[in-house]
Chains A and B, each alone.
Chain A
Amino acid sequence: AQSVTQPDIHITVSEGASLELRCNYSYGATPYLFWYVQSPGQGLQLLLKYFSGDTLVQGIKGFEAEFKRSQSSFNLRKPSVHWSDAAEYFCAVGPPASGGYQKVTFGTGTKLQVIP
Protein backbone atom coordinates (compact mmCIF):
# COMPACT_ATOMS: atom_id res chain seq x y z
CA ALA A 1 0.00 0.00 0.00
CA GLN A 2 1.20 3.49 -0.69
CA SER A 3 2.04 5.82 2.18
CA VAL A 4 3.62 9.19 2.83
CA THR A 5 5.62 10.39 5.81
CA GLN A 6 6.24 14.00 6.64
CA PRO A 7 8.56 13.81 9.63
CA ASP A 8 8.29 17.46 10.63
CA ILE A 9 4.99 18.46 12.17
CA HIS A 10 5.96 22.09 12.65
CA ILE A 11 8.80 24.19 11.21
CA THR A 12 9.66 27.79 11.98
CA VAL A 13 11.87 29.85 9.70
CA SER A 14 12.79 33.50 9.50
CA GLU A 15 11.55 35.54 6.59
CA GLY A 16 14.16 35.50 3.84
CA ALA A 17 15.69 32.25 4.99
CA SER A 18 15.71 29.10 2.90
CA LEU A 19 13.23 26.31 3.47
CA GLU A 20 13.21 22.57 3.03
CA LEU A 21 10.22 20.41 3.93
CA ARG A 22 10.80 16.68 4.01
CA CYS A 23 8.66 14.00 2.46
CA ASN A 24 9.29 10.26 2.23
CA TYR A 25 7.00 7.89 0.40
CA SER A 26 6.42 4.20 0.17
CA TYR A 27 5.34 2.74 -3.14
CA GLY A 28 6.31 -0.27 -5.20
CA ALA A 29 7.23 1.63 -8.33
CA THR A 30 7.72 5.25 -9.30
CA PRO A 31 4.62 6.99 -8.10
CA TYR A 32 3.10 10.31 -8.95
CA LEU A 33 4.12 12.82 -6.28
CA PHE A 34 2.53 16.09 -5.30
CA TRP A 35 2.94 18.99 -2.92
CA TYR A 36 -0.10 20.95 -1.82
CA VAL A 37 -0.41 24.04 0.36
CA GLN A 38 -3.34 24.86 2.60
CA SER A 39 -3.77 28.37 3.99
CA PRO A 40 -5.98 28.75 7.08
CA GLY A 41 -9.64 28.21 6.27
CA GLN A 42 -8.88 27.38 2.66
CA GLY A 43 -8.79 24.34 0.46
CA LEU A 44 -5.60 22.77 -0.78
CA GLN A 45 -3.74 24.28 -3.72
CA LEU A 46 -1.41 22.29 -5.92
CA LEU A 47 2.16 23.65 -5.73
CA LEU A 48 3.89 21.17 -8.01
CA LYS A 49 3.90 17.57 -9.15
CA TYR A 50 6.29 14.93 -10.43
CA PHE A 51 5.38 12.23 -12.89
CA SER A 52 8.55 11.40 -14.76
CA GLY A 53 11.57 12.96 -16.40
CA ASP A 54 13.64 15.68 -14.79
CA THR A 55 13.79 14.93 -11.08
CA LEU A 56 13.86 18.61 -10.14
CA VAL A 57 10.45 20.14 -10.67
CA GLN A 58 9.47 23.75 -10.46
CA GLY A 59 6.16 24.90 -9.08
CA ILE A 60 4.21 27.98 -8.33
CA LYS A 61 5.18 30.65 -5.78
CA GLY A 62 8.89 29.97 -6.25
CA PHE A 63 8.81 26.43 -4.86
CA GLU A 64 10.71 23.47 -6.22
CA ALA A 65 10.99 19.81 -5.27
CA GLU A 66 13.47 17.08 -6.02
CA PHE A 67 12.59 13.44 -6.53
CA LYS A 68 15.24 11.07 -5.21
CA ARG A 69 14.38 7.48 -6.00
CA SER A 70 17.23 6.05 -3.92
CA GLN A 71 15.95 7.82 -0.83
CA SER A 72 12.23 7.54 -1.62
CA SER A 73 12.04 11.25 -1.00
CA PHE A 74 10.38 14.26 -2.57
CA ASN A 75 11.50 17.26 -0.53
CA LEU A 76 10.09 20.72 -1.10
CA ARG A 77 12.40 23.72 -1.16
CA LYS A 78 12.27 27.46 -1.44
CA PRO A 79 15.39 29.67 -1.44
CA SER A 80 13.82 32.64 0.34
CA VAL A 81 10.64 32.40 2.37
CA HIS A 82 8.06 35.17 2.48
CA TRP A 83 5.66 35.78 5.36
CA SER A 84 2.78 34.80 3.06
CA ASP A 85 4.21 31.28 2.80
CA ALA A 86 3.03 30.51 6.34
CA ALA A 87 0.59 27.64 5.85
CA GLU A 88 0.22 23.89 6.09
CA TYR A 89 2.05 21.86 3.45
CA PHE A 90 1.01 18.40 2.37
CA CYS A 91 2.99 15.87 0.40
CA ALA A 92 0.94 13.29 -1.49
CA VAL A 93 1.54 10.12 -3.46
CA GLY A 94 -0.57 8.36 -6.06
CA PRO A 95 -0.19 5.47 -8.45
CA PRO A 96 0.63 6.13 -12.08
CA ALA A 97 -2.62 6.71 -13.88
CA SER A 98 -3.56 4.71 -16.90
CA GLY A 99 -6.28 6.93 -18.19
CA GLY A 100 -8.38 6.28 -15.14
CA TYR A 101 -8.85 7.45 -11.64
CA GLN A 102 -6.18 8.01 -9.07
CA LYS A 103 -6.30 7.42 -5.35
CA VAL A 104 -3.98 9.91 -3.78
CA THR A 105 -2.71 9.43 -0.25
CA PHE A 106 -1.72 12.51 1.73
CA GLY A 107 0.89 12.93 4.41
CA THR A 108 0.00 14.37 7.79
CA GLY A 109 1.21 17.82 6.86
CA THR A 110 3.91 20.23 8.01
CA LYS A 111 2.88 23.52 9.48
CA LEU A 112 5.19 26.34 8.45
CA GLN A 113 5.54 29.39 10.64
CA VAL A 114 7.45 32.40 9.31
CA ILE A 115 8.87 34.92 11.75
CA PRO A 116 9.84 38.46 10.76
Chain B
Amino acid sequence: DTAVSQTPKYLVTQMGNDKSIKCEQNLGHDTMYWYKQDSKKFLKIMFSYNNKELIINETVPNRFSPKSPDKAHLNLHINSLELGDSAVYFCASSPLDSQNYGYTFGSGTRLTVV
Protein backbone atom coordinates (compact mmCIF):
# COMPACT_ATOMS: atom_id res chain seq x y z
CA ASP B 1 0.00 0.00 0.00
CA THR B 2 1.32 3.42 -0.96
CA ALA B 3 1.63 5.62 2.13
CA VAL B 4 1.12 8.99 0.40
CA SER B 5 -0.39 8.81 -3.06
CA GLN B 6 -0.86 11.65 -5.51
CA THR B 7 -2.84 11.73 -8.69
CA PRO B 8 -2.20 12.38 -11.44
CA LYS B 9 1.52 11.74 -11.79
CA TYR B 10 1.74 13.89 -14.91
CA LEU B 11 -0.47 16.77 -15.94
CA VAL B 12 -0.09 18.70 -19.19
CA THR B 13 -2.53 21.53 -19.74
CA GLN B 14 -2.96 24.82 -21.51
CA MET B 15 -2.66 28.25 -20.00
CA GLY B 16 -5.86 29.51 -18.49
CA ASN B 17 -7.22 26.08 -17.60
CA ASP B 18 -8.23 24.96 -14.12
CA LYS B 19 -6.82 21.73 -12.72
CA SER B 20 -6.76 19.73 -9.52
CA ILE B 21 -4.23 17.43 -7.90
CA LYS B 22 -5.36 14.92 -5.33
CA CYS B 23 -3.44 13.56 -2.36
CA GLU B 24 -4.30 10.81 0.07
CA GLN B 25 -2.34 9.36 2.97
CA ASN B 26 -3.05 6.11 4.81
CA LEU B 27 -0.58 6.65 7.63
CA GLY B 28 -3.00 8.20 10.09
CA HIS B 29 -0.97 11.41 10.17
CA ASP B 30 -2.66 14.58 11.33
CA THR B 31 -0.73 17.08 9.23
CA MET B 32 -0.47 17.32 5.47
CA TYR B 33 1.49 19.67 3.22
CA TRP B 34 1.88 20.85 -0.32
CA TYR B 35 5.35 21.71 -1.58
CA LYS B 36 6.36 23.08 -4.97
CA GLN B 37 9.67 22.00 -6.53
CA ASP B 38 10.89 24.22 -9.34
CA SER B 39 13.15 23.35 -12.25
CA LYS B 40 16.24 23.92 -10.08
CA LYS B 41 14.93 21.41 -7.54
CA PHE B 42 14.21 24.11 -4.96
CA LEU B 43 11.42 23.00 -2.60
CA LYS B 44 9.09 25.61 -1.20
CA ILE B 45 6.21 25.05 1.16
CA MET B 46 2.83 26.22 -0.06
CA PHE B 47 0.23 25.03 2.42
CA SER B 48 -0.20 22.90 5.48
CA TYR B 49 -3.32 21.45 7.04
CA ASN B 50 -3.64 20.01 10.49
CA ASN B 51 -6.69 17.79 10.82
CA LYS B 52 -8.59 19.68 8.10
CA GLU B 53 -7.61 23.10 9.40
CA LEU B 54 -5.35 25.39 7.34
CA ILE B 55 -2.29 26.28 9.44
CA ILE B 56 0.34 27.36 6.93
CA ASN B 57 -0.46 29.51 3.93
CA GLU B 58 2.69 30.85 2.37
CA THR B 59 2.81 33.64 -0.17
CA VAL B 60 1.03 31.74 -2.88
CA PRO B 61 -1.20 33.30 -5.55
CA ASN B 62 -4.84 32.97 -4.61
CA ARG B 63 -5.34 31.00 -7.82
CA PHE B 64 -4.10 28.11 -5.68
CA SER B 65 -6.69 26.75 -3.28
CA PRO B 66 -6.17 23.75 -1.05
CA LYS B 67 -9.03 21.68 0.26
CA SER B 68 -8.99 19.05 2.96
CA PRO B 69 -12.25 17.08 3.18
CA ASP B 70 -10.81 14.94 5.97
CA LYS B 71 -7.44 14.48 7.59
CA ALA B 72 -6.41 11.77 5.13
CA HIS B 73 -6.92 13.93 2.05
CA LEU B 74 -5.47 17.22 0.87
CA ASN B 75 -6.26 18.36 -2.63
CA LEU B 76 -4.85 21.30 -4.56
CA HIS B 77 -6.93 23.21 -7.05
CA ILE B 78 -5.31 25.69 -9.41
CA ASN B 79 -7.29 28.25 -11.39
CA SER B 80 -6.23 30.09 -14.52
CA LEU B 81 -2.98 28.20 -14.93
CA GLU B 82 0.08 30.17 -15.99
CA LEU B 83 3.37 29.10 -17.57
CA GLY B 84 5.16 29.82 -14.30
CA ASP B 85 3.06 27.23 -12.51
CA SER B 86 4.98 24.48 -14.30
CA ALA B 87 6.74 22.52 -11.58
CA VAL B 88 6.59 19.30 -9.60
CA TYR B 89 4.10 19.46 -6.76
CA PHE B 90 4.65 17.22 -3.77
CA CYS B 91 2.20 16.25 -1.11
CA ALA B 92 3.57 15.17 2.26
CA SER B 93 2.26 14.15 5.64
CA SER B 94 3.66 14.05 9.13
CA PRO B 95 2.54 12.78 12.50
CA LEU B 96 1.69 15.31 15.16
CA ASP B 97 4.00 14.16 17.92
CA SER B 98 7.43 15.66 17.91
CA GLN B 99 9.32 12.43 18.50
CA ASN B 100 8.06 10.79 15.35
CA TYR B 101 7.73 13.57 12.91
CA GLY B 102 9.43 13.82 9.60
CA TYR B 103 7.69 14.09 6.31
CA THR B 104 6.52 11.19 4.19
CA PHE B 105 6.31 12.43 0.63
CA GLY B 106 4.21 11.36 -2.28
CA SER B 107 5.94 10.68 -5.60
CA GLY B 108 4.96 14.05 -7.01
CA THR B 109 2.82 15.49 -9.78
CA ARG B 110 4.70 17.01 -12.69
CA LEU B 111 2.59 19.89 -13.98
CA THR B 112 3.44 21.31 -17.40
CA VAL B 113 1.56 24.38 -18.59
CA VAL B 114 1.82 25.04 -22.32
Contact = CB atoms under 8 A, between A and B. Distances in A.
Contact of A101 (B40, B50, B90): B50
Contacts, number: 64
A98 interface: yes
A41 to B, nearest CB: 8
The majority secondary structure among interface residues of chain A is loop
B102 A49 contact: yes
A42 to B, nearest CB: 6
Interface residues of B, number: 26
B45 A42 contact: no
Given A43-B107, A44-B105, A46-B102, A100 B41 contact: no
Interface residues of A, number: 27
A102 interface: yes
Contacts of B55: 100-101
A100 B96 contact: yes
Contact of A46 (B42, B56, B104, B107): B104
A42 B107 contact: yes
Interface of A: 32, 34, 36, 38, 41-46, 49, 51, 88, 90, 96-106, 108-109
